[in-house]
Amino acid sequence: MTEPLEQETIEIPLKHVRKSLPHDSAAKHVTGTATYIDDMPEAIGTLHVVPGWAKQAVRGKIQSLDLSDVQFSPGVVAVLTADNVPGTNDCSSGFGDDPVLAKGEILFYGQVVFAVVAKTRDQARKAAQKARIDVAEITPILTQEDAVDAETIVLPDYQFRRGSPETGMPAAEEIQSGSMRIGGQEHFYLEGQIAMAVPEEDGGMLVYSSTQHPTEVQHTIAKVLGVPDARVTAEVRRMGGGFGGKESQANQWASLAALGAHATGKACKCRLDRDDDMIMTGKRHDFRVDWKIGHDAEGKIRAVDLEFLSRCGYSVDLSLGVNDRTLFHADSSYFYPDALIRSRRLRTDTVSNTAFRGFGGPQGMLAAERMIDAIAIKLGKDPLTVRKLNFYNGDHNLTPFGMPVEEYEVMHDLIDTLETSSDYWARREAVKEFNASNAVLKKGLALTPIKFGISFTLKHLNQAGALVHLYTDGSVHLNHGGTEMGQGLYQKIAQVVAEEFGVTLDKVRITATNTSKVPNTGPTAASSGTDLNAMAAKLAAKKIKDRLVNFLSEQHQCKAEAIHFGDNKVLVGEQSFSLAEIAKQAHMVRIQMSHAGYYATPGITWDRDNATGRPFFYFAFGGACSEVTIDTMTGEMTVDRVDILHDVGHSLNPAIDIGQIEGGFVQGMGWLTTEELVWDDKGRLRTHAPSTYKIPTASDIPEDFNVNLYEGNGNPEDTIYRSKAVGEPPVMLANSVFCAINDAVASLNPGELPDLDAPATPETIMKAVREIRQRKASS
């Protein structure tokens, strides 16, 4: 349990950390002066790269590729194909199966076959239309069922097993089973994929890339160009949104820009058109989940048998980690005595699915909530009662992968608090009354928990570096391996570094993430950006500060405890100096005022072969209560009220954390309601623009939207100022919306589980309504 934080409570009051300060770029955002890659001044002669593809083809060998009309289109400088790749034609994260440019075969709808380099982007786009590509099409494998039949996989099956579900299941008083579909999700970052490559001397390449993983962009380009990593530098100041969609998926466009620059000797920019972006880049994995649960008459789970059929697309990409994380979260917050949780990583002839905020976790948790709802409906109990009955507790706190849920008391307290603050039980009665007196409109209510494991499950990614300089005027240069995609990482780390040096925030210069400053970084992902990079930056700042303290304590013959940093000053006993003075003095006596900080998450272990260990440093918790109204004639739905309580430990910046929670919830709500990816029967994506793919708008959020941070004792683990990660977990708060819709449909035929898939669009809701009414009529 949480240890008392004595050290911190006796420290001088915090000046910057734990304050609701604005995002470092807020003033630039609102004035349009924040620079994204497309806004950077272009070098004279900058050219534009546009990917070309076979507009109809889904799968098949390229019979002929006629690019002559492309070549002679106005403004075209070069046309690149796989033959123009000097190094290795691969931009994958490690499995070697993602060609930058197609190698004689179309593997999915939207695969890049060639790239046009032209003087203007408009010329390049028009030229790219003029290719003639003949493909000998074969019947593609599109669905989970197709892939199961054809036995195509990208990775071997994997599973967690505990106890004996084979004997536990039959021994249960009640056994229920079912199957549900969970749709994927398009990231819809507002800034589409973009990179600009500037050739440098000696075959070097400087690449500005909108990426969550500059190191991977650097390494990929080096591989594609066939040059050492040291020749390539990747830089990103900010992204206009990432959400996982720029973790591995930025590699290809950065590679195309670099290939263009390599071929022409000119700076090259590659900015995807929105439709191309939505067609060519991977999305959240969509699933079919087959579930079976055994429980007793009270609602206590006895045994679980879950199978996750995941559509990975044509290549591995990040499917290993994504699908593992589904299994890690298939328990949601519930203890499964006997469990078999299986994962199949199916290969389909579709765009390769990738990271998306939650990284497989949301699908796993939604399946668990589905089973809880099934139990509650079957037994005529309130779903919240059944949820709490099955929560991890002091007697049962071991997950199916062997890691204990040590903070189960936080989980209980958080849900109890939310249950009260949301007035759950009174509203449950009100919903019942509403439904009794309304024939067409039906309300639903649900309160669901989250428990999300924090750390990369690939252990080596849990490390970070930072580079901090103190200059002789007392100003600070801050650099680290984390990338800024809007989540406020730069701001939080600047607060930490300002706190460490005792300087005002205006003294801290935040600089763009750059592989030549901090090398070999992991992606900014897994919610861990702050946990890792802020720690590295704090350590770097502390090292410099310690050197100054040593110097001062010698010079002034005082103890280190007598030296304090604050307000841009240094107090040495009774004497006060400006930090600038001290920095100058230190420089004169040759003290190094730069340090590369490094941090690796302690205490995590994971034995994947035996599916056991402690893969997560800690868990983040939360809960949400949502109320919805559905129209049982049309399937239309409104979210009427949402109450959220979320655990971020001791927040580094409450305003930024609230922003992550609200934004994550709304993004999750979109995933489970209006955001529907539709492929036609030939395997072509039909929803590839905001006109057809509908993310939430301002009117979709409930007017009554109450979001609070859980006030606990902070993170029991020694994280940065005892905070907890916040990036991904809030997405799963939206499970409450889906469960509330399910609750509304279930009111039409008490005792029966609605056949509701995600996303619950009006049509999907209507389908469930029709089906449950038919069951009622035929019973």
Partner 1 sequence: MRDTIRFLKGGDVVELTDVGSTETVLEYLRLRRLETGTKEGCGEGDCGACTVALGRLIDGKMVYQPVNSCIQLLGMIDGAELVTVEDLVQDKRLHPVQQAMLDLHGSQCGFCTPGFIMTLFTLYHATEVEKSRKTVTEWLAGNLCRCTGYRPIVDAALLACFETADDAFSWRAKETREQIRALADSRDIFIGDSDGFFASPASLDGLAALYDQHPDATLVAGATDVGLWITKQMRDLPKMVWLGRIDGLDRVEETPSGVLLGAMATYQATEASMTRLSPDLGELWKRIGSKQVRASGTVGGNIANGSPIGDTPPALIALGATLELQSATDNRALSLEEFFIGYGKQDRSPGEFVTGLFVPRLNSNQAFRCYKISKRFDQDISSVMAAFRFTVDEGVITDARIAYGGMAATPKRAAGAETALKGAILDDPATWGAGMQALAGDFTPMTDMRASAEYRNETARALLAKALMEISGTPDSDLRVLAKREADHDRAA
Give me the amino acid identity at 717: E
Residue 669 dihedral angles phi and psi, to the nearest 5°: -60, -40
Dist CA 688 CA 578 (whole Å): 57
Dist CA 220 CA 620 (whole Å): 33
Which of residues 272 and 563 has its CB atom nearest to partner 1 in the complex?
A: 272
Does 132 engage in binding with partner 1 (CB under 8 A)?
Answer: no
Does 523 engage in binding with partner 1 (CB under 8 A)?
Answer: no
Binding residues for partner 1, rule CB under 8 A, total 88
Could you say which of 178, 241, 566, 613 contacts partner 1 (CB under 8 A)? 241
Could you say which of 90, 98, 273, 286 contacts partner 1 (CB under 8 A)? 273
Q: Is the dihedral of CA 566, 567, 572, 578 positive or negative?
A: positive
Does 771 engage in binding with partner 1 (CB under 8 A)?
Answer: no
Which of residues 417 and 692 has its CB atom nearest to partner 1 in the complex?
A: 692
Could you say which of 137, 174, 229, 275 contacts partner 1 (CB under 8 A)? 275
Could you say which of 5, 14, 19, 22 contacts partner 1 (CB under 8 A)? 22
Beta-carbon contacts of 122 under 8 Å, excluding residues fewer than 6 positions away, are none
Give me the amino acid identity at 698: A
Q: Which position among 166, 407, 728, 752 bears the catalytic label?
A: 728
Does 33 engage in binding with partner 1 (CB under 8 A)?
Answer: yes
The terminus-to-terminus CA distance of the chain in angstroms comes to 51
Could you say which of 82, 568, 762, 773 contacts partner 1 (CB under 8 A)? 762
State the minimum distance, in angstroms, from the CB of residue 281 to partner 1: 15
Q: Of 677, 675, 633, give the one whose Cα is nearest residue 765.
A: 633
Dist CA 564 CA 502 (whole Å): 8
Does 388 engage in binding with partner 1 (CB under 8 A)?
Answer: no
Does 433 engage in binding with partner 1 (CB under 8 A)?
Answer: no
Which of residues 305 and 755 has its CB atom nearest to partner 1 in the complex?
A: 755
Dist CA 96 CA 757 (whole Å): 34
Find the binding residues for partner 1 in span 455-494 (CB under 8 A): 485-488
Stretch that binds partner 1, among 200-208, 297-305, 344-352, 629-637 (CB under 8 A): 629-637
Tokens of 71: 């070549």
Does 7 engage in binding with partner 1 (CB under 8 A)?
Answer: no
The DSSP 8-state label assigned to residue 244 in this structure reads: T
Beta-carbon contacts of 532 under 8 Å, excluding residues fewer than 6 positions away, are 462, 463, 464, 481, 482, 522, 599, 601
**Which residue bears the tokens 């695969």?**
111
Does 747 engage in binding with partner 1 (CB under 8 A)?
Answer: no
Tokens of 437: 């007196």
Does 10 engage in binding with partner 1 (CB under 8 A)?
Answer: no
Tokens of 165: 């579900």
Find the binding residues for partner 1 in span 306-365 (CB under 8 A): none
Does 136 engage in binding with partner 1 (CB under 8 A)?
Answer: no
Does 763 engage in binding with partner 1 (CB under 8 A)?
Answer: yes
Which of residues 559 and 770 has its CB atom nearest to partner 1 in the complex?
A: 770
Could you say which of 189, 287, 314, 618 contacts partner 1 (CB under 8 A)? 189
State the minimum distance, in angstroms, from the CB of residue 4 to partner 1: 32
Q: Of 390, 385, 404, 312, give the one whose Cα is nearest residue 355.
A: 312
Stretch that binds partner 1, among 137-145, 181-189, 257-265, 287-295 (CB under 8 A): 181-189
Which of residues 635 and 712 has its CB atom nearest to partner 1 in the complex?
A: 635
State the minimum distance, in angstroms, from the CB of residue 23 to partner 1: 6
Does 39 engage in binding with partner 1 (CB under 8 A)?
Answer: yes
Q: Of 450, 414, 411, 412, give the one whose Cα is nearest residue 711.
A: 414
Could you say which of 603, 633, 711, 776 contacts partner 1 (CB under 8 A)? 633
Q: Is 564 helix (H, G, I), strand (E, B) or coil?
A: strand
Does 708 engage in binding with partner 1 (CB under 8 A)?
Answer: no
What does 161-177 look like in DSSP terms, one character per residue?
EES-HHHHHHHSSEEEE
State the minimum distance, in angstroms, from the CB of residue 282 to partner 1: 17
State the minimum distance, in angstroms, from the CB of residue 770 to partner 1: 7
User: Per-residue x/- marks for partner 1, 583-602, CB under 8 A?
Assistant: --------------------
Beta-carbon contacts of 438 under 8 Å, excluding residues fewer than 6 positions away, are none
Stretch that binds partner 1, among 51-59, 189-197, 260-268, 286-294 (CB under 8 A): 189-197
Which of residues 88 and 638 has its CB atom nearest to partner 1 in the complex?
A: 638
574-581: Cβ within 8 A, 24+ apart? 578/474, 579/470, 579/474, 579/501, 579/502, 579/503, 579/507, 580/472, 580/473, 580/474
728 flagged as catalytic: yes
Q: Is the dihedral of CA 633, 638, 643, 649 positive or negative?
A: positive
Does 19 engage in binding with partner 1 (CB under 8 A)?
Answer: no
Find the binding residues for partner 1 in span 641-700 (CB under 8 A): 655-656, 658-659, 662-667, 674, 676, 678, 686-687, 689-692, 694-700
Dist CA 220 CA 229 (whole Å): 9
Could you say which of 168, 240, 337, 358 contacts partner 1 (CB under 8 A)? 240
Does 43 engage in binding with partner 1 (CB under 8 A)?
Answer: no
Is the CB of residue 153 less than 8 Å from the CB of residue 347?
Answer: yes
State the minimum distance, in angstroms, from the CB of residue 240 to partner 1: 3
Does 55 engage in binding with partner 1 (CB under 8 A)?
Answer: no
Cis upstream peptide for 759 (omega within 30°): yes
CA dihedral 319, 323, 329, 335 (to 10 degrees): -160
Beta-carbon contacts of 251 under 8 Å, excluding residues fewer than 6 positions away, are 91, 92, 93, 98, 211, 213, 216, 217, 220
Tokens of 381: 């109990």
Does 36 engage in binding with partner 1 (CB under 8 A)?
Answer: yes
Does 209 engage in binding with partner 1 (CB under 8 A)?
Answer: no
Is the CB of residue 328 less than 8 Å from the CB of residue 526?
Answer: no
Does 555 engage in binding with partner 1 (CB under 8 A)?
Answer: no
User: Any idea which residues carry the catalytic annotation?
Assistant: 728
